[in-house]
Structure 1
Amino acid sequence: MSVKVVITRDQGMALLRLEMNANLFLRDPQETDLGRKIIDQSIRMIDELGLEAFTFKKLSKEIDSTEASIYRYFENKHKLLVYLIAWYWSWLEYRIDFETHNVNAPLDRLAIALRLVTEQKAYDNSFPSVDESALQRIITNESDKTYLTKQVDSDNKEGLFRGFKSLCTRIAEIILEINPDYKYAHSLVSTALQAAHHQVFFAEHLPTLTNHKFSAGKVHQQNYEFLLDLIKKAIKV
């Protein structure tokens, strides 16, 4: 697997920890109880309040700690958001690697990858400090804010977008297995991954921009069918 995973045990249960780029944090939040609390509660609060209304002061009250203690892990809320988004993409790549490991046909692996990207997320108890369903909503509503900034180039040099780029490469490699002559594999995949959350956002808030219908379960299935159709037609299979 391309994503490095550390296995730990807690009361007999196997727990997993994704190894993240050290430039994403000042102190790894996965290594301490307080760090895990910061991750857990910040996901819930950003999901509920939005990034603009979310502050470390509000977070400190929710976790019964101090702002100073949070700043020991993340220098600001932008870096915290970048960490959460990067974790999500790495988690998705881990799941794609795991579920396609013994699947030989590249077209089948592509379908599995797109299903995992688009499906409505449920809680993954292997990562107890992360609410993946709430984090998926943050991806939909907030992820563009991680790179539509003046410091995008310096953030990129620090490798802060490595999770997204690695996931794009992973799926692009599958596409090139199907059609080695296709010239735009990375462009197609990055567009599809963006569409995976843009179309859900449009269905909920700007419905005239999509054919998807925002209703329980339907929008994610429609998104899967749309992206699979888009990619298969683009690569001519």
Structure 2
Amino acid sequence: MKSLLSNLKIAVPDKIYIKDPESSSLGKRIIEHSILLIDEIGFDNFTFKKLGAKIGSNESSVYRYFESKHKLLLYLTSWYWAWIEYQMVFSTFNMPDKTEQLLRAIEIVTKSIEQDDTFTHINEIVLNKIIINEYSKSYLTKEVDSENMEGYFVVYKRLITRISDIINAINPDYKFPTSLASTILEGALHQHFLKDHFKSITDCNDKVSPTDFFKELTFNAISK
């Protein structure tokens, strides 16, 4: 996996940024430290001025890459989903059995994240925490429809479609493959959040993972 990913660039829709942060050392520092700072103080309290102070650069230098902190959040979330998509594609590529493909896909999109040393400027464990806590803020906006038309959410939607296609291949008569696929993706974030903050309203804990739950939920649904 690492050797394959090392030859690939995680592709983020280019309309999200002004200048590709992967194209310079400053851009990579902006991404690295924005992840750490958002995790530290939360997205609502995050500003480019605070980020500039963290990286020892002017606030204006951040604006050369992103026009707003909303666009930066869109970049981080798109990068995360593209990273998850690469893992899912490579892990399921040589699996002829569709049931095994679906089990593996569910594992990848619902598991607890481990650090990937391929991308040294991105802490995927911390980024996952941001996705769990802040992802909904990237689309719960008045601009969501226009941004969707611009392709800002294409990676997220493509990942859901990949899972939906596997479900449909297993049971073509199942009526709700896309709804189920999007429920797996969104529900996993929610169950991880509940497990960390509202333990009394989830069955997920140290012994039962969101992966366990969504495997059972999925196969109970599509086997009927």
Superposition TM-score tier, normalisation by shorter sequence: over 0.9
| 1:233 alignment partner, one of 214, 220, 223 | 220
Equivalent in the alignment of 2:105: 113
Name the aligned partner's letter for residue 21 of structure 2. P
Stretches of structure 2 that go unaligned for 5 or more consecutive residues are none
Is the counterpart of residue 96 in structure 1 residue 88 in structure 2?
yes
SS at match of 1:121: coil
| Aligned residue in 2 for 1:51 | 43
Q: What CA deviation, in whole Å up to 9, does each residue of 1:123-162 have, x standing for no partner?
A: 2122222111001101110001111111111111111111
- 1:222 corresponds to: 209
Q: Which has the higher strand share?
A: 1
Pick from 146, 150, 159: which aligns with 1:167? 159
- The percent of aligned pairs where both chains have the same amino acid is 44
- Please say if residues 17 and 67 of structure 2, whose CA atoms lie closer than 8 Å, have aligned partners that are also in contact: yes
Long gaps (5+) in structure 1: 1-6, 9-13
Q: Secondary structure at the match of 2:32?
A: helix
The residue correspondences of 1:174-213 to structure 2 (distance < 5 A) are: 174-213=166-205
Match of 1:11 in 2: none
Offset, 1:193? 0.7
Q: Is the 8 A contact 2:11 2:79 kept in 1?
A: no
SS at match of 2:78: helix
Whole-Å separation in 1 of the counterparts to 2:213 and 2:204: 9
Q: Distance in 1 between matches of 2:141 and 2:85?
A: 25
1:103-122 deviations in whole A, cap 9, x for unaligned?
11011111111111122212
**1:18 aligned partner:** 10
Alignment check: 8 A CA contact 2:106 2:184 kept: no
Question: TM-score by structure 2 length?
Answer: 0.94
2:134 is equivalent to residue 139 of structure 1: no
Q: What residue is the counterpart of 1:148 in the other structure?
A: 140
